[in-house]
Amino acid sequence: MKDYNHQRIEKKWQRKWQKDGIYKTKEGGRRPKCYVLDMFPYPSGSGLHVGHPKGYIATDIYSRFKRMNGFNVLHPMGWDAFGLPAENYAIKNKVHPEIAVKKNIKYFKSQLALMGFSYDWSREINTTDPEYYRWTQWIFLKMFKAGLAYESYEPINWCPSCQTGLANEDLENGLCERCGSEIEKKPMRQWVLKITDYADRLLTDLDDLDWPESIKEAQRHWIGRSEGAEIGFSLTGDGLDEEIKVFTTRPDTLFGVTYLVLSPEHPILAKLENSIINQEAIRAYQLEVRQKTEIERTAVNREKTGIQLDGIMAINPANQETIPVFVADYVLAHYGTGAVMAVPAHDERDFVFAEKYNLPIKKVIDGEGCNLPYIGPGKLINSGQFNNLNNLKAKSKIVGYVNGRLTKKYKLRDWVFSRQRYWGEPIPIVHCDKCGVVPVPETDLPVKLPKVKSYAPAGTGESPLATIDKWVKTKCPKCGGPAKRETNTMPQWAGSSWYYLRYADPQNKKSLIGKRKEKYWLPVDLYVGGTEHATRHLIYARFWHKFLYDIKAVSTKEPFTRFGKNLGLILGEDGRKMSKRWGNVINPDDVVSLYGADTLRIYTMFIGPFEAESAWNTKNIIGTRRFLDKVWRLRLKPKTKIGSAEAETKLHQTIHKVSTDIESFSFNTVVSAMMVMANQLEKEKSIAQTIWRDWLKLLAPLAPHLAEELWALAGYKKSIHLSSWPVFDPHKVQTEEVEIVVQINGKVRDRLIVAQDLSEEEIKILVLGRPDVSKWLQGRGIKKIFYVKNRLINLVL
Ligand code: ANZ
Ligand code: ZN
């Protein structure tokens, strides 16, 4: 008997599929479309490890399943190749990023090819290709013209080691997510995208998306909408006529305000210089705070510090009480108005601060005996005419009473969009002494990244592009006079914010995407990738998409209808995250050559629920390989016209289970259903041709090579992957199965799997036929039978 030679089989079919172009996709026809997308990787130097393909395997199974179900499937792949990782790799290994990227892509591609994925490679894209980034630059120009891209001089996050500015989203616990360095605040010119204009839509449109709740929640949290009010407090002091505006989400507690707190950066402090008596001390405090990071400042359990402004008091507009004003670093400059009204009786931070500085604490909500601070709802007390009102109802009334303004605030900040690095899309802007900031005309795109000698950061806070005189010096597109090019580049997240559009029309020279193709393919029906992108890529892409919708470049409001389940990591055999450091990295190439791509695919899906973390286990992959060996041997069973009724029932149960579970991303149960069916087939003396045919079709998405080989051996000429999915016939499956516990005199003696809803009579017949049961009976009579339907039968002797 010939062994299952996975190497021969897999090579052979991969070549044939490519030669015949069976995964090439065209738009049109009568079939409904289905766009299945993986997050495209950045091609790092170390290649894929075994954890990476998990999502790709899942989408490949799903794509093949949909194709066989009559869908016109778009399933593309490409490369997210700009950005710091590629550049740092290039600097470390002393090769030009362009060359490094080319080499890495080649390696990645060869690895993906080994796994038999059904990508349409004719649609491959690469974000560093000028023909691609021409359109990334085009979108920037459109945003600039719409007033959504602007220059700012606000202090930004600066990583002293990567020597570049970073967006808020690029920090992890206040550190650079790339290198772990402490972030500095550095005032410098930068380009910023006004994502905050879209905050409301980004938030409300989440409701209609078929995404995991956890990702939606992460986005809601990141956008962080707070509904509250701005309320003015006038100041008293020598000849002062100033007001401090606070932002509060709790205007209902206004009568309980016992002091105000300003952030140390608050601009009013400069204006008040002459009225503040302890000016020196305030200045010293401001300097001290400058050393601290935002994380330190807002940490909940940190001892709060602050200092009172001597010589100045504020007036509570609700009850005209005079209250002190503090400066404290727990109030952040860039949230709300940078000033807070403090209500120690009903707010945790204010309570701690008030205790420390001996400030009055005044209850205004009846906590019915609860400890302070009381943050729950209740009736107002000590609040003048508002007493006895429910606090939620009182909110807008009190705001009206003091002439405040209801408003919303967001945690989301505008997107710092420039990087002082080489390996990114040049920002298509020219600076002219006469005309100022001038956009490059669309017809001059792409602004190509020039070749440089040294692409390492210059150390001056400028991009290395600034050192290339010949490139920097240009003509002003407006007046024709001498001008300079913008030397900042775009962040890594630019190219990935719209790439899914380009796959639908990758060769288009006239527009980013043709109208007809856009209408046909978009939105993406299923998107799968790591949930670490929940608040960055997925928010940025939604933002760009909404902008493109507004300028009528796309016709849908959202890019990704459904996001597959969260992707659980595959850990090393030791249960730790795979990493060079632990020496527990498993290379998929080795697994493929030893056990085969089909085994790797099935094992990766069988290792645990898709969303769970699971540890790699070599013993178990051998088990999976044995399953495929068994399938390979099944080809030798005689194939007949008619098979057993049992096999027919099992087949239809399996069709049903496999179909519904692929659709719902429950791949581990798909595999176990297939294993159960294989055991059934192994028991059969012969297998009906129709059952064998349908079984191979069920196998095709999981093990495309083996299924194709067995399909050809069975005499079929056209690829199995172009055949249609078996039809589930509910009449063939009378019932679901249940497990019945068999007790004799109250002790468990046996268990059996039977069809659901059998009667006591039917179960009795089955039970008495069991060897284990008859052993216990040994001729004794049954006095009584207790039967709990679908659960338990107890024979009393
Ligand atoms: C009075 C009050 C009473 C507040 C109370 C809360 C509870 P979120 O939900 O995060 O938007 N706040 C406003 N601006 C701030 C700043 N720049 N830095 C630090 N804290 C600031 O929180 C809004 C609440 O956080 C506001 O409502 C304000 O305190 C504080 F029982 O006002 B509150
Ligand atoms: Zn000019």
Domain CATH number, residue 759:
3.10.20.590
**Which ligand has its closest atom nearest to the C-alpha of 438?**
2
Q: What is the pLDDT of residue 761?
A: 74
Q: Is the CB of 253 under 6 A from ligand 1?
A: yes
Residue 446 lies in a domain: yes
Gap from CA of 152 to ligand 2 centroid (Å): 20
Are residues 402 and 272 located together in one domain of the fold? yes
**Which ligand has its closest atom nearest to the C-alpha of 407?**
1
- 3-state secondary structure string, 348-359? HHHHHHHHHCCC
Q: What is the pLDDT of residue 214?
A: 93
Are residues 240 and 381 located together in one domain of the fold? yes
The CATH code of the domain that includes 337 is 3.90.740.10
Residue 47 lies in a domain: no
d(CA 130, CA 445): 9
Sign of the Cα pseudo-torsion (461, 465, 470, 472, in order): negative
Residue 557 lies in a domain: no
Q: Whose CA is nearest to atom 25 of ligand 1?
A: 248
Sheet order of strands, 747-755 included: 747-755, 737-744, 792-796, 784-788
Residue 53 lies in a domain: no
Q: Which pair of tokens denotes residue 429?
A: 């802007």
Residue 59 lies in a domain: no
Q: Which pair of tokens denotes residue 297?
A: 């400042």
Gap from CA of 420 to ligand 2 centroid (Å): 24
End-to-end CA distance of the chain: 53
Q: Which pair of tokens denotes residue 440?
A: 């490059």
Contact predicate 523/504, CB 8 Å: no
Are residues 384 and 432 located together in one domain of the fold? no
Side chain identity at residue 453, one-letter code: K
Contact predicate 457/165, CB 8 Å: no
Residue-by-residue DSSP string for 8-42: HHHHHHHHHHHHHTTT---S-SSSPEEEEEEPPPP
d(CA 14, CA 23): 11
Q: What is the pLDDT of residue 735?
A: 63
Side chain identity at residue 437, one-letter code: V
Domain-ending residue, one of 356, 391, 410: 410
d(CA 319, CA 341): 14
Q: What is the pLDDT of residue 135?
A: 98
Full domain range(s) for residue 385: 225-410
Q: Is the CB of 266 under 6 A from ligand 1?
A: no
Are residues 399 and 444 located together in one domain of the fold? no
Strand partners, 193: 149, 415
Ligand 1 atom at minimal distance to the Cα of residue 347: 31
Q: Is the CB of 343 under 6 A from ligand 1?
A: yes
Q: Is the CB of 341 under 6 A from ligand 1?
A: yes
Q: Using the structure block, give the residue that is written with the tokens 């790709």.
A: 56
Q: Using the structure block, give the residue that is written with the tokens 């402090």.
A: 269
What is the pTM for the complete model shown? 0.84
Domain-ending residue, one of 485, 512, 537: 485
d(CA 409, CA 203): 13
d(CA 565, CA 273): 57
Contact predicate 412/196, CB 8 Å: yes
Q: Whose CA is nearest to atom 28 of ligand 1?
A: 248
Gap from CA of 713 to ligand 2 centroid (Å): 72
Mutate which of 220, 246, 249, 362 for ligand 1? The one with the most ligand atoms within 8 Å of its CB, which is: 249
Label residues 708-729 b or e (16+ Cβ within 10 Å = b): bbbbbeeeeeebbbebebbebe
Sign of the Cα pseudo-torsion (16, 21, 24, 27, in order): negative
Are residues 450 and 404 located together in one domain of the fold? no
d(CA 273, CA 330): 22
The per-residue pLDDT for range 94-147, each reduced to its tens digit, is: 888 899 899 999 999 999 999 999 999 999 999 999 999 999 999 999 999 999
Are residues 251 and 264 located together in one domain of the fold? yes
Are residues 718 and 769 located together in one domain of the fold? no
Q: Which pair of tokens denotes residue 445?
A: 């795109």
Q: Whose CA is nearest to atom 20 of ligand 1?
A: 331
Q: How many CB atoms lie within 10 A of CB 71?
A: 17
Ligand 1 atom at minimal distance to the Cα of residue 226: 11
Residues composing the chain: 797
d(CA 343, CA 147): 39
Burial bucket for residue 519 (CB in 10 Å: 0-12, 13-18, 19+): middle
Are residues 312 and 335 located together in one domain of the fold? yes
Are residues 339 and 383 located together in one domain of the fold? yes
Side chain identity at residue 791, one-letter code: R
The per-residue pLDDT for range 313-365, each reduced to its tens digit, is: 999 999 999 999 999 999 999 899 999 999 999 999 999 999 999 999 999 99
Are residues 230 and 352 located together in one domain of the fold? yes
Burial bucket for residue 156 (CB in 10 Å: 0-12, 13-18, 19+): buried
Ligand 1 atom at minimal distance to the Cα of residue 343: 3
Q: Using the structure block, give the residue that is written with the tokens 């024979």.
A: 795
Q: Which pair of tokens denotes residue 174?
A: 């206040």
Mutate which of 265, 335, 343 for ligand 1? The one with the most ligand atoms within 8 Å of its CB, which is: 335
Contact predicate 226/409, CB 8 Å: yes
> What DSSP element (H or E) covers 220?
helix 213-223
Radius of gyration of the chain (CA): 34
Are residues 472 and 372 located together in one domain of the fold? no
Peptide bond into 41 cis (omega under 30): no
Q: Is the CB of 247 under 6 A from ligand 1?
A: yes
Q: Is the CB of 255 under 6 A from ligand 1?
A: no
Q: Is the CB of 331 under 6 A from ligand 1?
A: yes
Q: How many CB atoms lie within 10 A of CB 552?
A: 8
Q: Whose CA is nearest to atom 27 of ligand 1?
A: 248
Residue 717 lies in a domain: yes
Residue 5 lies in a domain: no
Residue 588 lies in a domain: no
Query: What are the percentages of helix, strand and coil residues in the chain, rounded to 5?
Result: 40, 20, 40
Q: What is the pLDDT of residue 734?
A: 67
Q: What is the pLDDT of residue 94?
A: 83
**Which ligand has its closest atom nearest to the C-alpha of 431?**
2
Domain-ending residue, one of 732, 749, 770: 732
Ligand 1 atom at minimal distance to the Cα of residue 330: 19
Are residues 361 and 478 located together in one domain of the fold? no
**Which ligand has its closest atom nearest to the C-alpha of 300?**
1
Q: What is the pLDDT of residue 114?
A: 94
The CATH code of the domain that includes 710 is 1.10.730.10
Side chain identity at residue 736, one-letter code: E
How many domains would you assign to the chain? 4
Q: Whose CA is nearest to atom 10 of ligand 1?
A: 226
Peptide bond into 730 cis (omega under 30): no
Please list the ranges in the chain whose pLDDT falls under 50. none
